[in-house]
Amino acid sequence: MKIRDVRLTPLMTEAESISAGPGAALVEVETDEGITGIGEACIHSERGEAAIAAQKIVEIGFKPLLIGENPLDVQRLWLKLYSYCEWYGRGGVAIYALSGIDVALWDICGKALGVPVYTLLGGKFRDKIPVYASLLFDMDNPEDTAKEGKKYVIQGYKAVKYGWGKTRERAFGMNPDEDEEMIRTIREVLGPNIQIMVDVGRFVNLTPAQAIRLAKRLEKYDIFWLEEPLPPEDVTGYKMLSDSVDVYIAAGESEYSRQGFVEYITRRAVDIIQPDVTKAGGLTEAKKIADMCETWNLMMVPHGFSSVVNVAANLQLVASMPRAFILEYRRTPSPLISKLAKKPFTYEDGYLKIPSEPGLGIEIDYSVVEECSIKQ
Ligand SMILES: [Mg+2]
């Protein structure tokens, strides 16, 4: 089997806010045996420009390196592309694009061998995984924000995460009194038995001292984890924060490649490591990061807030992780979550079932790709 074409399609949707992930990039690797692998590069840029940059990298840079290659040689091809990233810098958009190709190669392997990807990752530990409803803060409307989460609690979700804010100007983490009122309202509306996660996100960069104070203020509302309150570069700050508060500290969606996680893991700077399969280097790299977390006895909860392809890749990964215990499930509305796959995932009482069809187990609806593709 040989690769005969590689494509990246930049996608953009109408979204309620810039933090709702309006963009994404669908990656396809086509073989000469009629199998096409599907992947995603998680690219949310507000005007689609990062996905267009990734498209150039894939179609001008990576494609000539892949044509004629055997798609089953996933790790060799990963290294071949990673070495070529020298010209782009070994991170950012280039490694997002590489992640998309890597996921597509794993999808091909599964389809060619007639097994789900988790079998190729070492086999499964579970058939289903608890998911948390992943939502956004509306800092102007604590009541509405809380009621949005309650909708999912009524559907059986046992955990809800809120993040960021609708705009750069009105984000969580800017005003401690408003932050506390927001979390107090959410706890009151969701009730005592629901896990609540708080994702400060990338509109705000707190110092360790500010984050410690915030975490301590929120402790009385029994927050399960506090995510990304510090700039991703401040690993020492994360270590200080984790050592100073009871609430779990989570981070990792802004890192890429296993090297990006080495310090976080080996210094035990956070409690929960959150690589994104479609940003950090694909399933190849995410599996290595998961193995590092297992070795250092840390929790890992993969990040995923873009499309159904991201969720599908995450489901295969968590199936193969010995101690995976929860997965992110974006519930802010987007056709990339609700319509891009022909068949929805099976959700039941707080769990997503892990697809057992060959490869990633999803089929793309190309009418949605057509509808959402950026016309250049
Ligand atoms: Mg986050």
Q: Are residues 166 and 297 in the same domain?
A: yes
- Would you say residue 359 lies in a domain? no
Domain at 105, CATH number? 3.30.390.10
Q: Is the confidence at residue 15, as pLDDT, over 80?
A: no
Q: Are residues 207 and 331 in the same domain?
A: yes
- Would you say residue 180 lies in a domain? yes
Q: Are residues 109 and 229 in the same domain?
A: no
Residue 220 alpha carbon to ligand 1 centre in Å: 22
Split at pLDDT 50, 70, 90, the class of 14 is confident
Q: Are residues 105 and 132 in the same domain?
A: no
Do residues 302 and 323 make contact, with C-beta atoms less than 8 angstroms apart?
A: no
Domain around 157: 119-353
- The Cα 215–Cα 223 span in angstroms is 9
Domain count, the chain: 2
- Would you say residue 74 lies in a domain? yes
Q: Are residues 104 and 144 in the same domain?
A: no
Residue 163 alpha carbon to ligand 1 centre in Å: 7
- Would you say residue 360 lies in a domain? no
Residue 136 alpha carbon to ligand 1 centre in Å: 10
**pTM of structure:** 0.97
Type of residue at 74: V
In the prediction, which pLDDT does 43 show?
87
Q: Are residues 103 and 133 in the same domain?
A: no
Residue 208 alpha carbon to ligand 1 centre in Å: 18
Residue 330 alpha carbon to ligand 1 centre in Å: 11
Residue 106 alpha carbon to ligand 1 centre in Å: 25
- Would you say residue 321 lies in a domain? yes
- Would you say residue 361 lies in a domain? no
Task: Note the pLDDT tens digit of each residue in 315-342.
Answer: 999 999 999 999 999 998 889 999 999 9
- Would you say residue 196 lies in a domain? yes
Domain at 169, CATH number? 3.20.20.120
- Would you say residue 358 lies in a domain? no
Q: What is the pLDDT averaged over residues 167-173?
A: 93
In the prediction, which pLDDT does 333 show?
87
- The Cα 223–Cα 302 span in angstroms is 19
Residue 227 alpha carbon to ligand 1 centre in Å: 6
For the chain, what is the mean pLDDT?
A: 96
Annotate 311-344 with b (16+ C-beta within 10 A) or e (fewer): bbbbbbbbbbbeebebbbbbbbebbbbebbbeee
Q: Are residues 91 and 137 in the same domain?
A: no
Residue 134 alpha carbon to ligand 1 centre in Å: 9
Residue 301 alpha carbon to ligand 1 centre in Å: 11
Q: Are residues 168 and 109 in the same domain?
A: no
Q: Are residues 178 and 317 in the same domain?
A: yes
Q: Are residues 199 and 226 in the same domain?
A: yes
Residue 228 alpha carbon to ligand 1 centre in Å: 6
Residue carrying structure tokens 């360790």 = 208
For residue 319, report the phi and psi dihedrals to the nearest 5 degrees: -60, -35
Split at pLDDT 50, 70, 90, the class of 198 is very high
Q: Are residues 64 and 177 in the same domain?
A: no
Task: Note the pLDDT tens digit of each residue in 99-116.
Answer: 999 999 999 999 999 999
CA-based R_g, the chain, Å: 20
- The Cα 269–Cα 350 span in angstroms is 30
Q: Are residues 189 and 51 in the same domain?
A: no
